[in-house]
Amino acid sequence: MVVVEAKSVSFNYGSESVIKNVTLNAFPGEVLVVIGPNGAGKTTLIKLLANIIKPSSGKIEFDGVDLRLMSKDEVTRIVSYSPQDNVIPSILTVYEVVLLGRIPHLSWRIGKNDLKITEGVLKELGLEAYAKKYAGQLSGGERQMILIAQALVREPRLLLLDEPVSNLDIRNQLEILDLIKRITKQRKITTITILHDLNLAVRYADKVAILNDGSIFAYGNPEEVLTPETLSCVYGVEAEVVRNNNSIQIIPIRALEK
Ligand code: ADP
């Protein structure tokens, strides 16, 4: 029942090898969180999974089918990708921005079903009151929520998010990640997201992939892979990992000398 699978995927920007022999998979109903230091290749990996760039070697399969054999339309109907630098035109209303997510499904005009799905997602995310507001009038947290709504109206089976909670306060971070987790379980979709905050990764990930210099350094349950040794090797920090019940909390202590 694997939805997405990267098999020995490598990718180069010119002569620079950015992704090196990455193998991972993710299942329906699962949140896979990709973490790693700046420049490790996280965004590049998400772009490969979104079919925006193609592997230099290895392959990415969706339900056992090589992404390269699928048409662009097929892929965009299955996969929703919300990039880090997603820009929302401030002159559009929230309703219009969310409806834009339906583009891959539209024929030459918007159908009743597209409007119904848009309204359903706005309701599900508690955004009905915002529908007529202009995007330019929203706070950072509200804008992020709208981008997630836009990704969801596409009714993806694979949701790819690049740092969906960066620049948000802690309440908004929890609200948005709670929502992502809930939707992933309820709709039985697969979500792969980049997060920077390791404690948020522990809290929301079913599985964590730690990227370091383009390679998978560790991959599995957050409690298993996030150890003081890993944090020291990958991030160059001394950290305490406190175990309580079935979870862990990461307390950074100091940056180690290079
Ligand atoms: P991360 O998301 O982990 O911070 P990225 O995937 O953005 O890492 O970048 C990984 C490496 O690829 C970095 O060394 C970066 O400079 C390089 N890189 C990213 N995008 C491009 C590009 N468009 N052209 C050339 N090099 C790039």
Q: Given this model, what pLDDT does residue 1 score?
A: 63
Q: Check whether residue 221 and residue 231 sit in a common domain.
A: no
pLDDT tens digits for 154-191?
A: 999 999 999 999 878 898 899 899 999 999 999 999 99
Pocket residue to mutate for ligand 1, from 12, 13, 19, most atoms within 8 A of Cβ = 13
Q: Check whether residue 84 and residue 171 sit in a common domain.
A: yes
Q: pLDDT higher for 212 or 136?
A: 212
Domain carrying residue 257: 227-258
Q: Given this model, what pLDDT does residue 86 score?
A: 79
Residue 98: give its domain's CATH number: 3.40.50.300
pLDDT band at 102 (very low <50, low <70, confident <90, very high): confident
Average pLDDT estimate for 139-157 = 90
Percentage of the chain exceeding pLDDT 90:
75
Query: For the chain, how many structural domains are there in total?
Result: 2
Strands ordered across the beta sheet of 57-62: 16-26, 4-13, 57-62, 65-66
Q: Is the CB of 43 under 6 A from ligand 1?
A: yes
- From the alpha carbon of 211, which atom of ligand 1 is closest? 3
Average pLDDT estimate for 136-150 = 89
Q: Is the CB of 36 under 6 A from ligand 1?
A: yes
Percentage of the chain exceeding pLDDT 70:
99
Q: Check whether residue 81 and residue 145 sit in a common domain.
A: yes
Q: Check whether residue 135 and residue 8 sit in a common domain.
A: yes
Specify whether the backbone of 105 is left (phi greater than 0), alpha (psi in -120 to 50) or beta: alpha
Calculate how far, in angstroms, residue 43's C-alpha sits from the geometric centre of ligand 1: 7
pLDDT tens digits for 28-40?
A: 999 999 999 999 9
Pocket residue to mutate for ligand 1, from 44, 210, 234, 235, most atoms within 8 A of Cβ = 44
CA 246, CA 161: separation in Å to the nearest integer? 26
Indicate the pTM of the whole model: 0.94
Q: Check whether residue 178 and residue 239 sit in a common domain.
A: no
pLDDT band at 199 (very low <50, low <70, confident <90, very high): very high
* Strand 31-35, strand 207-212: pairing: parallel
Q: Across the chain, what does the average pLDDT equal?
A: 92
